[in-house]
Amino acid sequence: MSNSADTEKTASVPSPIDVHVGGRIRLRRSLMGMSQERLGEALGLTFQQVQKYERGANRVGASRLFDLSRILEVPVGFFFDDLPAGLSNPMAGATTPAVNGFAEAQESFGSAPATPSSFAPQSGEAALFSRRETIELVRAYYRIPDGDVRKKVLDLIRTMSP
């Protein structure tokens, strides 16, 4: 029989998926230059509640995730992009048969189904996109009003990188 103190201790540890989703919320909010307070106002929450979502301390429900996708102007799937392979396939190694879902249904539309490896970050890309320097670079890039100039800046950066 489990001890109630053990149950309370495990209940307070955030799920790795909740932490990942929270990190994606923080990433998109930061890329948009939006404060936690402003996001909270748009959701009808306090900035402290937004902080808890971003840390993964509070789980984001389906309707709230839908609201976040609308406010942050991304599809709901954005919050699950780059999920580590072990988290994206919780049934891996389980003996019960997997239930076919949306990813399998997409096969009939000509696209390949998602695989666990397609969710894994490629060579640390996920870490790069959460760095302040990357966020500032992206913001500055999109503040350039002339599309031709933006393209030239991109070409310049490409020539400078190995």
Tens digit of pLDDT at every position of the chain (162 positions):
545 544 444 557 888 999 999 999 998 998 888 999 999 999 999 999 999 999 999 999 999 999 999 999 999 998 998 888 777 655 554 444 444 444 444 433 343 444 433 333 444 565 666 677 887 888 888 888 998 998 998 889 889 988
59 near 11, Cβ under 8 Å? Answer: no
pTM higher than 0.85 for the full model?
no
Homologous superfamily of 1-89+116-130 in CATH? lambda repressor-like DNA-binding domains (1.10.260.40)
Structural domain boundaries in the chain: 1-89+116-130, 132-162
